[in-house]
Chains A and B, each alone.
Chain A
Amino acid sequence: MSIEVRNLSRRFGATVACDNLNLDIPAGELVALLGPSGCGKTTLLRIIAGLEVPDTGSVLFHGEDATHTDVRDRNVGFVFQHYALFGHMSIFENVAFGLRVRPRDTRPGEAEIKSKVMQLLKLVQLDWLADRYPHQLSGGQRQRIALARALAVEPKVLLLDEPFGALDAQTRSLMQELLTQIWEDLHKTILFVTHDVEEAIFLSDRVFVMTARPGRIKAEIEIPLERPRSYELKATETFLALKKRALTLIREEALKATQAGQ
Chain B
Amino acid sequence: MSSTAVAATPPTVAAPGVAPRVLRSAITEPVWVQRVLIGSALAFMTLFLFVPLATVFFEAFKKGVDVYLAAITEPDALSAVKLTLVATAISVPMNLAFGVAAAWAITKFDFRGKNVLLTLIDLPFSVSPVIAGLIFVLVFGLQGWYGEWLRDHDLKIIFAVPGIVLATVFVTFPFIARELIPLMQAQGIEQEEAARVLGAGGWQIFWRVTLPNIKWALLYGVILCNARAMGEFGAVSVVSGHIRGQTNTMPLHIEIVYNEYQFAAAFAVASLLAALALVTLVLKYVIEQRVKHQKRAVGDRTE
Q: How far is the CB of A48 from chain B (nearest CB, A)?
A: 11
Residues of A with C-beta under 8 A to B196 = 51, 71-72
Taking a contact as CB atoms under 8 Å apart, the answer to whether B301 and A87 are in contact is yes
Give 7 nearest A-B pairs by CB, closest first: A98-B198, A84-B190, A101-B200, A84-B194, A88-B212, A78-B197, A135-B300
Q: Are B301 and A77 in contact (CB under 8 A)?
A: no
What 0/1 pattern do residues 166 to 206 of B give for CB contact below 8 A with A?
A: 00000000000000000000000011011111111100100
Query: Is B114 part of the binding interface, using a Cβ–Cβ cutoff of 8 Å?
Result: no
Asked whether, in the complex, the Cβ of B197 is within 8 Å of the Cβ of A101, the reply is: no
Contact with B along A81-113 (1 / 0, CB 8 A): 011111111000000011001100000000000
Bitwise, A143-154 to B at CB < 8 A (1) or not (0) is 000000110110
Cβ-closest chain A residue relative to B296 = A135
Q: A86 CA to B200 CA in the complex, in Å?
A: 13
Contact A80 B190 (CB under 8 A): yes
B188 to chain A, nearest CB (A): 9
Chain B residues within 8 Å of chain A by Cβ, number: 21
CA–CA, A140 to B255, complex, Å? 63
Cβ–Cβ < 8 Å partners of B301 in chain A: 82-85, 87, 134-135
Residue of B191, B194, B297 most packed against chain A (CB within 10 A): B194
Given A80-B190, A80-B193, A101-B195, A87 contacting B213 (CB threshold 8 A): yes
A135 touching B297, Cβ below 8 Å:
yes
The reply on A18 being an interface residue by CB < 8 A is no
Interface mask (B261-289 → A, CB under 8 Å = 1, otherwise 0): 00000000000000000000000000000
**Contact residues, A97-133 vs B (CB, 8 A):** 97-98, 101-102
Most buried by B among A71, A76, A87, A89: A87
Quick check: is B208 within 8 A (CB to CB) of the other chain? Answer: yes
Number of chain A residues close to chain B: CB under 8 A: 27
A97 touches B195 (CB 8 A): yes
Smallest CB gap from A74: residue in B: B197
Q: Is A175 an interface residue (CB 8 A)?
A: no
- Cβ of B145 to closest chain A Cβ, rounded Å: 42
6 A-B pairs with CB atoms under 8 Å apart are: A50-B197, A51-B193, A72-B199, A101-B208, A134-B301, A153-B198
Inter-chain contact A86/B193, CB cutoff 8 Å = no
Contact A49 B199 (CB under 8 A): no
- CB proximity of B86 to chain A, nearest CB, Å: 35
Number of A-B residue pairs, CB cutoff 8 Å, is 73
Q: What is the bound-complex CA distance between A71 and B213, given in angstroms?
A: 23
A149 touches B297 (CB 8 A): no
Residue of B nearest to A49 (CB): B197
Give A83 to B301 CA distance when docked, in angstroms. Answer: 8
Contact B197 A82 (CB under 8 A): no
Most chain A beta-carbon neighbours within 10 Å: one of B199, B204, B213, B302: B199
How far is it, in angstroms, between the C-alpha of A150 and the C-alpha of B208 when the chains are bound? 17
Best-surrounded residue of B193, B195, B197 (most CB of chain A within 10 A): B197
* A87 to B193 alpha-carbon distance, docked (Å): 14
- Once bound together, how far apart are the Cα atoms of A153 and B198, in whole Å? 7
Question: What B residues does A101 contact at CB under 8 A?
Answer: 195, 198-201, 204, 208
Closest Cβ of chain A: how far from B109's Cβ, in Å?
Answer: 13
Contacting pair A87 B208 (CB below 8 A): no
Q: Which residues of B contact A150 (CB under 8 A)?
A: 197-198
A102 touches B199 (CB 8 A): yes
In the bound complex, how far is the Cα of B187 from the Cα of A86, in angstroms? 11
CB within 8 Å for A153 and B199 given contacts A86-B209, A88-B212, A101-B208 = yes
A151 to B298, CA, bound (A): 24
Contacts of B191 in A (CB 8 A): 84-87
Closest to A77 in B: B197
Beta-carbon contact of A51 and B190 below 8 Å: no
Residues on A with beta carbons closer than 8 Å to the beta carbon of B197: 49-51, 71-72, 76-78, 150
Chain B residues within 8 Å of A77, by CB: 197
A80 touches B194 (CB 8 A): yes
Query: Given the interface contacts A88-B213, A97-B195, A101-B195, does A82 sit within 8 Å of B200 by beta carbon?
Result: no
Instruction: Assess whether B199 is in contact with A87, with CB atoms less than 8 Å apart.
Output: no
Residues of A within 8 A of B201 (CB): 72, 101
Q: Separation in Å of the A155 CB from the closest CB of chain B?
A: 9
Interface centre among B193, B198, B213, B298 (most CB of A within 10 A): B198
Give Cα A83 to B191, complex, Å.
9
Chain A residues with CB under 8 A of B194: 78, 80, 84-86, 149
| Cα of A80 to Cα of B204 in the assembled complex, Å | 20
B302's nearest neighbour on chain A, judged by CB, is: A82
Q: Are A84 and B198 in contact (CB under 8 A)?
A: no
Q: With A72-B200, A134-B300 given, can you name 19 additional A-B contacts, CB distance below 8 Å?
A: A49-B197, A51-B196, A51-B197, A76-B197, A78-B197, A80-B190, A84-B190, A84-B301, A85-B194, A86-B191, A87-B300, A87-B301, A98-B198, A98-B199, A101-B200, A102-B199, A135-B297, A149-B198, A150-B198
